[in-house]
Amino acid sequence: MERTLYEEDHELFRESVRAFVERFVRPGYSQFTADRVITRDVWHEAGRAGFLGLGVADEHGGSDVHDYRFNAVWVEELSKVSAGVASSFSVHTDIVAPYVADLTTQEQRKRWLPAFCSGEMVAAIGMTEPAAGSDLAALRTTAVADGSDWIINGSKTFITNGYSADFVVLAARTDPAAKSARGITLFGVTADTPGFSRGRKLQKVGQPESDTAELFFTDMRVPGDAVIGEVDHGFPLMMQRLPQERISVAVSSIAHATQILGETLDYVAERKAFGASIGSFQHNKFLLAELVTKIDVTQAFVDSCVAAHSRGKLSAVDAAKAKWWSSEVQNAVLDACVQLHGGYGYMTEYRAAQAWMDGRVTKIWAGTNEIMKEIIGRSLGF
């Protein structure tokens, strides 16, 4: 189905992203997966090309582009070749960037954003904790005032870019007496701060190229000017920015599934059994008809959400719908692609198998799909 979301400038930008992918991502992919991290030279090249500063003012090294459709193109093209590379870069450009570009002081922007945009500084976000996954209000990492400084103690887990990050937007509880979501503050923390340490690279089912780690903070002293936004007002700031994280996941999920389904269509056209291509068998033909329809219908809704977000009109409920539905469709499509490949679909050397492993996490991160349904259900008055 023809997509009407993008204009000529977006498609020209897509060509630039594709050139970057072909030159720096595809050739290095096997190394990224072996080392379980994206090499720094690729970050630097992304910065030189202007991909890391979308939504950041040019005075701080950014592209000064304030149209989320460019972010969507960036995520789509990365997702087609590697879900893990897409997740690492989208954490930087879609999740961390809005905090640093929109909520900081002029001094903080001057301090952090040039390196953020150039790729010299890889960013992560520290929200998830061992005892508080989707329930961000239950976090236990603490920040205690000590004069004009803050002393931070606690830990975070499942942090994308955690092993390589130079900078972390960190959520900590600053008012232990406050109930639930109140009393949480955001901090900008650099990895060279005494008391900051990392655990091991976590072994994941999929997306090995996206480094994921635990972070630990032991009597970590940060200055007062590390606070992002207002003290004790971090939770609403996180809630306001979660729709962008969730629509980014939706964009990636559907682009990833669309690419692998296209490759599977080529496979079933060529693969022969009983004297005919396996795609011509009625069961497979009907299955493929269902899959391409699910993709097209989901793409139309996700495109509508991207357009709404570009206008500043995307609601938290619609973002939740896009996130859970696209990830469900993605996983259904990828599972079917594995089945259509037969025994080869279970071999990791085949893209369908790797994609199947890579895609499973999308039903968990950015808030589990069960949490997404809770958000939608509450909007119905229940």
Q: Are 93 and 62 in contact (CB under 8 A)?
A: no
Q: Are 300 and 238 in contact (CB under 8 A)?
A: no
Sequence-distant (≥ 6) Cβ neighbours of residue 214 within 8 angstroms: 155, 156, 157, 159, 162, 198, 199, 200, 202
- Cα 114 to chain center, whole Å? 21
**b/e per residue, 152-179, with b = 16+ CB within 10 A?**
bbbbbbbbbbbbbbbbbbbbbbbeeeee
Which of the following is catalytic: 15, 214, 245, 328? 245
7 catalytic per annotation: no
Distance separating alpha carbons of residues 78 and 358, to the nearest angstrom? 13
**Active-site residues: which are they?**
245
